[in-house]
Amino acid sequence: MSKVISVPAEIRTGEKRVALVPEIAKKLIAAGTTIQVQTQAGEHAGFSDEDYTAAGASICPDDSLLGTADVVLTVNPLTETQLQKLSDGSILIGYQNPWSDTQRFKLLQDKNISAFSMELIPRISRAQAMDSLSSQASIAGYKSVLMAASLSGKFFPMLTTAAGTVRPSKVLVIGAGVAGLQAIATARRLGAMVEAYDVRAAVKEQVESLGAKFVDIDIKAEGSGGYARELTEEEKQKQQEILARHVAASDVVICTAAIPGRASPRIIPTDMVNNMKGGAVIVDLAAEGGGNCELTQPGETVMHNRVTIYGPINVPSTVPNHASELYAKNLFNLLGLIIKEDSLQIDLDDQILKDSLITHAGDIINSAVQERLQASTN
| pLDDT tens by residue, the chain, 378 residues | 789 999 999 999 999 999 999 999 999 999 999 999 999 999 999 999 999 999 999 999 999 999 999 999 999 999 999 999 999 999 999 999 998 878 899 999 999 999 999 999 999 999 999 999 999 999 999 999 999 999 999 999 999 989 999 999 999 999 999 999 999 999 999 999 999 999 888 899 999 999 999 998 776 665 555 556 677 777 778 778 889 999 999 999 999 998 888 899 999 999 999 999 999 999 999 999 999 999 999 999 999 999 999 999 999 999 999 999 999 999 999 999 999 988 999 999 999 999 999 999 999 999 888 888 777 776
Residue of 84, 100, 103, 128 marked catalytic: 128
* pLDDT at residue 241, as a whole number: 87
pTM, two decimal places: 0.94
Q: Which one of the listed residues 63, 70, 131, 198 is annotated catalytic?
A: 131
Alpha-helix residue ranges (DSSP H) falling in the chain: 22-30, 49-55, 80-85, 103-110, 132-151, 178-189, 204-209, 233-248, 270-274, 320-335, 351-356, 367-377
Residue from 12, 51, 82, 123 carrying the catalytic annotation: 123
Active site (annotated) includes residue 131: yes
Distance of CA 307 to the CA centre of its chain: 26
Residue 225: predicted pLDDT: 57
d(CA 174, CA 172): 6
* Domains of the chain and CATH, by start: 4-120+337-370 (3.40.50.720), 140-318 (3.40.50.720)
- Among the listed residues 6, 38, 109, 134, the single catalytic one is 134
Catalytic residue check, 128: yes
pLDDT at res. 371: 83
- C-alpha angle 192-193-196 in degrees, rounded to nearest 5: 115
Q: In this predicted structure, what is the pLDDT of residue 264?
A: 92
Told to judge if 123 belongs to the known catalytic residues of this protein, a careful annotator would answer yes
Residue 275 CB-half CA count within 13 A: 13
User: CA nearest 170: which of 247, 96, 75, 108?
Assistant: 247
- Number of H helices and E strands in the chain, helices first, is 12, 19
Q: How far is CA 256 from the centre of its chain?
A: 11
User: Catalytic residue among 82, 87, 227, 229, which?
Assistant: 227
Burial class (CB in 10 A: 0-12, 13-18, 19+), 365: middle
